[in-house]
């Protein structure tokens, strides 16, 4: 790979923050997801608000939103962005998995993929934290970008598995 393929590497091969000052401000959107596998009784306790720490999904939603807003503080070469939307949703279509999907939007000079991925990851970690007393064997997996829109590289969408 050459340095022009890795935008965070300069001509000397050093990591650096990409200069986006010459880029146009455009509307950008990204969606990401994560899955948490757990015991069926853990998912049931989440859905019925039966955990001592409180409303798991409400807390995880706020944690995901907060994480997206603080992404540049967590990922060293990310630009701080004035996000215009962060959404965190939860779904379960079986008895032992919780699916998290996130969406981030911005009118800016760089994309919001990392913010959407960070939101999904931290929401999943929050669910784990709130439920670990009853299910230490939970597994967080399938953290991935689902789609991105806008910017120089154009739109991209993950192919269905």
Query: pLDDT tens for residues 84-135?
Result: 999 999 999 889 999 999 999 999 989 999 999 999 999 999 999 999 999 9
pLDDT at residue 120, rounded to an integer: 98
Residue 81: domain span: 33-149
Domains held by the chain: number: 1
> Is 17 part of any domain?
no
Does residue 111 belong to any structural domain of this protein?
Answer: yes
More confident residue, 32 or 11: 32
pLDDT, residue 17, reads 75
**Catalytic-labelled residue, pool 129, 135, 141, 155:** 129
Q: Look at the alpha carbons of 33, 62, 66, 81 in this order and tell me if their dihedral is positive or negative.
A: positive
Enter the tokens of residue 70: 């603080």
CATH assignment at residue 46:
3.30.70.640
What the block records as the tokens of 82 is: 């004035």
* Rounded Cα distance, 126 and 49, in Å: 15
Give the integer Cα–Cα distance in Å for 8 and 18. 6
19 is catalytic: no
Whether residue 117 lies inside any domain: the answer is yes
pLDDT tens-place string over residues 28-44 = 999 999 999 999 999 99
Confirm whether pTM is higher than 0.85: yes
* Residue environment code for 113-148, b if the CB has 16+ CB neighbours within 10 A, otherwise e: bbbbbbbbbbbbbbbbebbeebbeebebebeebbeb
Tens of pLDDT, residues 41-78: 999 999 999 998 899 999 999 999 999 999 999 999 89
- Three-state secondary-structure class, residue 121: helix
Query: Does residue 158 form part of some domain?
Result: no
Q: Is residue 92 part of a domain?
A: yes
What pLDDT is recorded for position 5? 63
Q: How does residue 1 score in pLDDT terms, banded at 50, 70 and 90?
A: very low
Cα–Cα distance between 53 and 55 in angstroms, integer? 7
Tell whether the model's pLDDT for residue 25 goes beyond 70: yes
Backbone angles phi, psi at 61, to 5 degrees: -65, -50
């Amino acid at each position: 790979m050459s340095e022009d393929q890795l935008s965070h590497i300069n001509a000397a091969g050093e990591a650096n923050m990409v200069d986006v000052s010459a880029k146009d401000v455009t509307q950008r959107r990204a969606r990401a997801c994560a899955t948490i596998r757990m015991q069926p009784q853990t998912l049931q306790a989440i859905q019925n608000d039966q955990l001592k720490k409180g409303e798991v999904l409400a807390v995880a939603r706020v944690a995901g939103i907060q994480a997206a807003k603080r992404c540049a503080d967590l990922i060293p070469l990310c630009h701080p962005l004035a996000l215009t939307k962060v959404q965190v949703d939860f779904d379960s279509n079986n008895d032992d998995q919780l699916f998290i999907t996130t969406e981030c939007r911005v009118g800016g000079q760089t994309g919001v993929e990392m913010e959407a991925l960070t939101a999904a990851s931290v929401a999943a970690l929050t669910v784990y934290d709130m439920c670990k007393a009853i299910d230490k064997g939970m597994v967080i997996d399938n953290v991935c970008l689902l789609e991105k829109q806008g910017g120089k590289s154009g739109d991209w969408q993950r192919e269905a598995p």
